[in-house]
Amino acid sequence: MPDVNKTPKKVAVLGATGLVGREMLKVLEQRNFPVSELVPLASERSAGRTFEFNGKTHTVRAVDDDSFEGVEVALFSAGASTSRRWAPIAAAAGAIVIDNSSAWRMDTVAPLVVPEVNPEDIKLHKGIIANPNCSTIQAVVALYPLHKKAGLNYVAISTYQSVSGTGQEALKTLESGSRDILAGNEPSSSLVYPHPIAFDLLPHIGPFDEYGISEEEWKMVRESRKIMHLPNLRVSCTAVRAPIFRGHGESVVASFDKPITPDEVRKILNESPGIEVQDNPGSSIYPRPMYAAGKDPVYVGRIRKDTGIQGAIAMWVVSDNLRKGAALNAVQIAELL
Ligand SMILES: NC(=O)c1ccc[n+]([C@@H]2O[C@H](COP(=O)([O-])OP(=O)(O)OC[C@H]3O[C@@H](n4cnc5c(N)ncnc54)[C@H](OP(=O)(O)O)[C@@H]3O)[C@@H](O)[C@H]2O)c1
């Protein structure tokens, strides 16, 4: 009998030329995901481009109605409107779609999965599984083990998110804006953000609603409730874009039903999957995005009692938004399938 889990699969990657798509290809290779045939897809813009995968040259194709024939696993990272159009077509062709965009995350049928938190939800899929937003993934990986122990009842999160979270155009924007300023010039106006991002902070990720709450802040609220199965969890969030290339940092204050000490938090997190504790109170040991870039874990440090809410814990959570925040989480879901 062949080992079913290791039977090679025909895998499509839609958005194969993007930041997340390229990281997906790297993660598939690095984790020896059993791929019998790779179907790299993007738009007409990059059709014909070639790249190496598992020692062979592959050519990017423009996605069309026949792209998903025989595909078993389809990893999507090409934006929400592209997903809304092509995910039902891929699923109807028999593929299981794992989608990185926001298109299906709050859909009542599609599960929203972080393998360290709610792997059992995968079984509920009807052809489409949603991958959560990058900033939500790292927060719930750190919070869920604490919730299981002590009952999470409130969390306040401020994010410091790198520009790679906005895609490859944003990398160019930060780089050219930084060069402009260092050369003593005005940074050219940004096509990606409402203001130049170099040497600045923009508390503005996605459009604002009528109450002034940003789309990214709502993603944190709604997605964390859905993933942790805590529909009434109280969540405060301020989402900020920071002038760093890769890796998101988050200041997290969490309050629990049962008292929990910083030492207990360190112990629980040290024993939890996908987490590396980098903490030594009073020292300069703590997680940093530059260190986390290109690595898999969610790093947690600066674990301490909160100064404002009795019994609450404050901590600093860092992860690579392109790895655990996107590509790695998607491939882990494919592995679970
Ligand atoms: N970056 C992150 O940290 C992160 C984290 C979680 C989720 N996501 C989500 O992942 C998706 C991709 O993000 P990214 O950062 O990789 O963006 P990106 O670097 O801008 O890449 C976008 C990819 O989508 C493809 N694409 C765009 N429009 C298309 C269309 N109409 N038909 C087919 N392919 C199309 C592009 O192909 P061409 O080369 O042909 O233009 C490219 O491969 C987004 O939905 C994003 O919200 C990103």
Looking at residue 123, which CATH number applies to its domain?
3.40.50.720
Asked if 36 and 142 sit in the same domain, the reply is no
HSE value, Cβ hemisphere, 13 Å, CA-based, for 113: 28
At residue 37, φ and ψ (nearest 5 deg) are -150, 135
User: From the CB of 224, is ligand 1 less than 6 Å away?
Assistant: no
CA 18 to ligand 1 centroid distance, Å: 5
Closest atom, ligand 1, to C-alpha of 133:
6
Q: Are both 140 and 9 inside the same structural domain?
A: no
Given this model, what pLDDT does residue 1 score?
Answer: 39
The active-site residue, picked from 58, 125, 147, 248, is 248
Q: 12 — phi, psi (to 5°)?
A: -105, 145
Do 312 and 218 share a structural domain?
yes
Distance CA 266, CA 300 (A): 9
For the stretch 182-214, pLDDT in tens is 999 998 877 899 999 999 999 999 999 999 999
Non-local CB neighbours of 168 within 8 Å, separated by 6+ positions: 18, 19
Q: Would you place residue 315 in the very low, low, confident or very high pLDDT band (cuts 50, 70, 90)?
A: very high
> Which residues does 313 contact at the CB level (< 8 Å), separation at least 6?
146, 253, 254, 255, 256, 260, 262, 265, 303, 304, 305, 306
Give me ligand 1 centre to Cα 195, in Å: 22
Pair (166, 305) in one structural domain: yes
User: What are 262-272's pLDDT values in tens digits?
Assistant: 999 999 999 99
Cα(93)–Cα(12) distance, integer angstroms: 12
Spell out where the chain has E strands.
9-14, 35-42, 50-53, 56-59, 61-62, 73-76, 96-99, 128-130, 152-161, 234-241, 248-256, 275-277, 298-305, 313-319
**173, 283: one domain:** yes
**Which residues are CB-neighbours of 129 under 8 A, at least 6 positions away?**
96, 97, 98, 99, 110, 111, 113, 122, 333
Q: What is the structure's pLDDT at 3?
A: 47
pLDDT digits (tens, 9 = 90+) for 79-109: 999 999 999 999 999 999 999 999 999 999 9
Number of structural domains (the chain) is 2
Same domain, 180 and 214: yes
- 201-251, pLDDT tens digit by residue? 999 999 999 999 999 999 999 999 999 999 999 999 999 999 999 999 999
125 and 144 part of one domain: no
Is the CB–ligand 1 distance for residue 153 below 6 Å? no
Instruction: Note if 237 is an active site residue.
Output: no
Q: What is the pLDDT of residues 39-79, one digit of tens each?
A: 999 999 999 999 999 999 999 999 999 999 999 999 999 99
Joined tokens for residue 328: 């790695």
Q: Which residues contact 80 (CB under 8 A, 6 or more apart)?
A: 101, 102, 103
Model confidence over 279-298: pLDDT tens digits?
A: 999 999 999 999 999 999 99
**Ligand 1 nearest-atom number relative to CA 42:** 34
The CB of 272 under 6 Å from ligand 1? The reply is: no
CB atoms within 10 A of CB 22: 19
Indicate whether residue 15 lines ligand 1 (CB < 6 A): yes
Share of the chain above pLDDT 70, in %: 99
124 and 146 part of one domain: no
Ligand 1 centroid from CA 170, angstroms: 12
Give me the catalytic one of 134, 147, 195, 229.
134
Query: Does residue 216 contact residue 208 with C-beta atoms inside 8 Å?
Result: no
Residue 268's domain is classified under what CATH number?
A: 3.30.360.10
Q: Which amino acid is at 274?
A: G
Distance CA 268, CA 146 (A): 7
Assess whether 118 and 150 both reside in one domain.
no
Statement to judge: residues 101 and 171 lie in one domain:
no
Write out the residue range of the structural domain in which residue 269 sits: 136-320
Distance of CA 119 to the CA centre of its chain: 16
Cβ pair 165, 248 in contact under 8 A: yes
Average pLDDT over residues 164-188: 94
Distance 62 CA to ligand 1 centre (A): 14
Which residues face 299 on adjacent strands? 276, 318
Residues 94 and 220 in one domain: no
167 lines ligand 1 (CB under 6 A): yes
Specify whether 232 is located in the same domain as 278: yes
Residue 249 φ/ψ, nearest 5 degrees: -110, 150
